[in-house]
Amino acid sequence: PAGTPACGGPDGRRAMPVLAAYRAALQARPLRTKAATSFVLFGTGNALVQAAEQRRPRETGASAASFSARKVAACSVYGAGLYAPGMHVWYQALERWLPSTALPSTCCKLALHSAFAAPAIISSFTLATKTLEGAPLGESIAALRDRGPQMWLTALGFINIGLFINYQFMPLPYRVMFGNCVQLLWTTYQCWELGREGSHAAPLGEPLPPAAVVLHAPAQ
């Protein structure tokens, strides 16, 4: 069909039914499908960060922290419960306000995303995931205050590049799928950035924790 990229070889032919089933699920149950996709991708992003952080101590001879399933679950729950419904409403509203794919319309969407959606995503991600991990509210707010501005500045470059490509060049049926790939990379970055916040919170004179990843409580 028109708008469907050609896939040669047996691997491509095997992938086509999966893509078709995903598109059908998006049309039949868009919010549930997006929530399930975000559940998987947000958890995957956190798991990738933890796996990378676990390799680092082995290279330096230090002891590695155990893998935290709770951190993965916290990110997954945030993705399905807050991110997916929030962005579903956001994209629907943008398409109603700015239905054109012309360059000025795309630039307006990017500006609105940077000014409103990005700060909301960063704030809700930091506060919700740390709270789900069991951190006190004051600690969650301190993490947002410490790492939030840097994450927002990074979003101005990284996320806007992905969003521009998505709005301007991707065929409409594949925009959600492409956005999910960008989302995976962004979630991984957010987890890593919050992990840096956890590392910096160690008091002077005490060794840094062997693996500081998202939702990691500062050393006491």
C-alpha to C-alpha distance for 143 and 120, rounded to whole angstroms: 15
CB 41 within 8 A of CB 187: yes
- Better-predicted residue by pLDDT, 174 or 9: 174
User: At residue 11, does pLDDT exceed 80?
Assistant: no
Pick from 28-32, 156-160, 180-184, 210-214: least confident: 210-214
Placement of tokens 């789900």 in the chain: 132
The single-letter code of the amino acid at 32 is R
Q: Is the pLDDT of residue 53 over 60?
A: yes
| Amino acid occupying residue 31 | L
pLDDT of residue 128: 96
* Distance set, CA 141 to CA 55, 118, 137, 204 (Å): 29, 17, 6, 21
Q: Is residue 46 within 8 Å of 187, Cβ to Cβ?
A: yes
In sequence order, which residues have a C-beta less than 8 Å from that of residue 203 and are 6 or more positions away? 219
Structure confidence at residue 163 (pLDDT): 84
Q: Which amino acid is at 177?
A: M
84 or 194: which leads in pLDDT: 84
- The more confidently predicted of residues 148 and 15 is 148
pLDDT, position 216: 38
Q: Which residues contact 134 (CB under 8 A, 6 or more apart)?
A: 70, 217
Asked if residue 63 has pLDDT above 80, the reply is no
pTM for the model: 0.76
Distance CA 209, CA 193 (A): 15
Query: Which pLDDT tens digit goes with each residue over 96-131?
Result: 898 888 899 999 989 998 999 989 999 999 999 999
Mean pLDDT across the stretch 68-88? Answer: 93
Q: Both tokens of residue 144?
A: 């947002």
Structure token pair of residue 167: 């709005």
The Cα–Cα gap between 116 and 124 comes to 12
The pLDDT tens digits for 126-175 are 999 999 999 999 999 999 999 899 889 888 887 788 888 888 888 766 77
Contacts with 106 (C-beta within 8 Å, 6 or more apart), sequence order: 164, 167, 168
214 or 100: which carries more pLDDT confidence? 100
133-135-138 Cα angle (round to 5): 145
